[in-house]
Chains A and B, each alone.
Chain A
């Protein structure tokens, strides 16, 4: 068998030369479907990222009891920061808070007339790791000594949470669906290249070729088509994504697009390897079908 490897490679390459148009079409089809697949993958990853960054901006506000001293507040801050899931605790003193409030509303309201003195308590702004744990953390903090009240936008959290779930599930479903469509398209494209040589396969078998012998060149060819399709889809997607990122960074700077090179490299790798695997599987399935039909 191994003495034939050279021959198989030669055969596979020669079929490109002879069926150049067919191969070109096949590579084009694989490229287009992989680009679509890659776009979806990036879209889903980015949606996840955007939602993640929005939800990381949500925080808790914990108001302490009004007569708490600054020292006790410092101790409390330490205690708060030790709660699991809490990533950051900012202290806002009541004077600071009052000043801010006055700056914001002092012009419209005659504050001094309505309120005598500073009515605000010291406040902690607390960031948690993920929005899911917000209610839990909030409850825990509200049960602590010296804490008067804990506030967070509960409804908004719920919405963000269900949005995250929807993107996760929908994204996964879409990726599966698109993968499947890509598989079908690639397999069928390769099948056309195999069917074009059905007579050849029949003749090869008549002069004593085993199924394995017939299959190898086609599988090698499928792999090569897959690699070429995968590589060109990688190039197309990389250049267009880089261009998109550059544009959006200027036009919509607040939209956090994924630019992590390692994550992107992974996506591109999936496309190239996916293309290769699809080419191989497509060739294998198609040749096996033709061989089976001929008994």
Chain B
């Protein structure tokens, strides 16, 4: 489903972030991406939904090299990749409902469908009660859950979650992980960047560890540390 071939990335300011990364992730997989702060996790995820382009190498998502994708096609790529952003990226002047609905609206879905699916997604993340709140009225954890609802609302085949539990208490974190697990079992590829040791250790899934822009470990049924 996702394949990186010799991918390197330098930012325009000259910082080299990723070096020669190769990685192959199957359709049914749930992968944890671990590594210390600044290791390059977010950058790697950004390459997948074409928020950044690699300096060299191929980034193949669903058989398409997104590094060379025509910019007019990028929206359609992004509709197939749900993203839980590390900094949420909620539209500030819209309610939780509208934020989640937006991901469906761009696809031209009919209003009734939008309503039904948004309610479902909000229910799933336990945010139904806060549907009419604006992002500035939400706690960090609530924002995170709104963001998750938006990422999953149109059942994308790929879900990228960038520290989706960063602002959650252990219980809620665990609920969210269960949710991601459930989504993964519904035939969605899940890739999650995290610093949460206990979750990685308990889940016993594939772990890809990045340090200084290089993959230092790729372990099936792995833990947070070696």
Contacts and interface: CB of A to CB of B under 8 A. Distances in A.
A180 interface: no
Given A1-B108, A4-B105, A204 B91 contact: yes
A200 B91 contact: yes
Interface in A182-234: 199-200, 203-211, 213
Contact of B75 (A1, A7, A203, A208): A208
Contacts of A203: 89-91
Q: Interface range on chain B: under 10, 10 to 19, 20 to 34, or 35 or more?
A: 20 to 34
Which residue, of A18, A206, A211, has the highest number of chain B Cβ atoms within 10 A? A206
Interface of B: 49, 51, 71-72, 74-76, 78-79, 83, 85, 89-93, 102-103, 105-108, 110, 150
A204 to B, nearest CB: 7
A227 B192 CA distance: 49
Q: Majority SS of interface residues in chain A?
A: helix
A200 B106 CA distance: 14
A295 interface: yes
Nearest to B156: A208
B106 A207 contact: yes
Nearest to B107: A208
B122 to A, nearest CB: 16
Interface residues of A, number: 18
Contact of A208 (B71, B72, B78, B90): B78
A206 B105 contact: no
Contact of B78 (A3, A18, A207, A213): A207
B51 A208 contact: no
Given A200-B92, A203-B89, A209 B108 contact: no
Interface in A160-200: 199-200
Interface of A: 1, 3-4, 7, 18, 199-200, 203-211, 213, 295
Nearest to A4: B108
B134 to A, nearest CB: 11
A4 B106 CA distance: 9
Given A206-B51, A208-B78, A210-B75, A7 B89 contact: no
Contacts of A213: 75, 106
A271 B75 CA distance: 38
B110 A204 contact: no
B108 A3 contact: yes
B89 A208 contact: no
B13 to A, nearest CB: 17
A276 B85 CA distance: 39
Nearest to A197: B93
A208 B103 contact: yes
25 contacts: A3-B110, A4-B105, A4-B108, A200-B93, A204-B91, A204-B102, A204-B106, A205-B74, A206-B49, A206-B85, A206-B89, A207-B83, A207-B102, A207-B106, A207-B150, A208-B75, A208-B76, A208-B79, A208-B103, A208-B107, A209-B75, A209-B102, A210-B106, A213-B106, A295-B71
B71 A7 contact: no
Contacts of A200: 91-93
B155 to A, nearest CB: 13
A208 B106 contact: yes
B18 to A, nearest CB: 19
Contacts of B92: 199-200
B3 to A, nearest CB: 22
A294 to B, nearest CB: 10
A208 B76 CA distance: 6
A200 B91 CA distance: 6
A200 B85 CA distance: 14
A206 B78 contact: yes
Contacts of A295: 71
A221 to B, nearest CB: 14
A199 B87 CA distance: 13
Contacts of B75: 205, 208-211, 213
B93 A18 contact: yes
Given A204-B91, A206-B89, 5 more contacts: A3-B108, A18-B93, A208-B107, A209-B106, A295-B71
A77 B58 CA distance: 95
A83 to B, nearest CB: 68
A181 to B, nearest CB: 33
